[in-house]
Amino acid sequence: MSDRFWAVVPAAGAGKRMASEQPKQYLQLCGRRVIEHSLDRLLSHAEIRGVYLALSPGDEWWAETAFAGDARVVLVNGGAERCYSVLNALNLLLEHADGQDWVLVHDAARPCLREEDLDRLIACLRDDAVGGLLGVPVHDTVKQVNESSRVEVTVPRDRLWRAYTPQMFRLGPLHKALADALQRGLLVTDDASAMELAGHQPKMVEGHADNIKITQAHDLPLAEFYLTTRE
């Protein structure tokens, strides 16, 4: 079995919920762009050979980033949905890597990934038959509601997790699982979902809750707090 590692970063989203003039991955955070934090964590890891980055064909901001000329970053056209961007990157990666190589798919808008969590993910899964993903157990009480927002049931939380990234799977099986899901018209929102649809059971690896995704405007000061406090 191969013991080589690659990263895929889908970064073609417009981030409409941020209500900003540029996509969320290019917003400033602690003196750098959000995507620069995310890429730096991946490229700084000794095990990761390179990053396949899916950008919107009309991207106007990538050329201004610190990694625009980095030979370790391979650009690929992104799609209308995250799943299409990931599949495009996997298609290109298959031309240069073995199907048994590991792929870590990480959101461009998760700039607070800890080095120790990345280490733990790789260490826990490198000998796993399926692969898995970072996440944290749910500690809040969870309610399921009806169409009128009336509570129907309190959901037992003892086996519930929040799914984060990176999500780490073998290149060949992940490519097939994602392609099959899209062929069925299923626009999966994360890579583990595609693997689940293919009959696999990904393993959850506990990370830190500060590995947040920048989605709305209030997430930026929270990410800044996490990064500055950590430093």
Condensed to tens digits (0 to 9), the pLDDT of residues 106-120 reads 999 999 999 999 999
User: pTM, whole model, 2 decimals?
Assistant: 0.95
**Distance separating alpha carbons of residues 9 and 35, to the nearest angstrom:** 9
Torsion of the alpha carbons at 68, 188, 181 and 2, rounded to the nearest 10? 50
Q: How confident is the model at residue 21 (pLDDT cuts 50, 70, 90)?
A: confident
* Per-residue CA distances from 155 to 79, 144, 166 (Å): 35, 7, 26
Number of domains present in the structure of the chain: 1
Count of beta carbons in the 10 Å neighbourhood of residue 192: 27
Full domain range(s) for residue 182:
5-230
6-15, 165-174, 192-201: the lowest-pLDDT one: 6-15
Top pLDDT among 51 and 58 is at 51
Contacts of 108 (CB under 8 A, 6+ apart): 9, 10, 11, 13, 25, 34, 35, 38, 39, 53
Count of beta carbons in the 10 Å neighbourhood of residue 139: 10
Average pLDDT value for residue range 46-50: 97
Q: Is residue 54's pLDDT more than 90?
A: yes
CATH number of the domain residue 221 falls in: 3.90.550.10
Torsion of the alpha carbons at 176, 103, 60 and 32, rounded to the nearest 10? 150
**Distance separating alpha carbons of residues 6 and 43, to the nearest angstrom:** 10
* Token digits of residue 154: 């309190």
Q: How confident is the model at residue 15 (pLDDT cuts 50, 70, 90)?
A: low
Q: Which residues pair with 136 in a beta bridge?
A: 162
φ, ψ of residue 77 in degrees (nearest 5): -70, 130
Q: Is residue 218's pLDDT more than 60?
A: yes
Q: Which residues of 65-103 are buried (b: 16+ CB within 10 A; e: fewer)?
A: bebeeeeebbbbebbebbbbbbbbbbebbeeebeeebbb
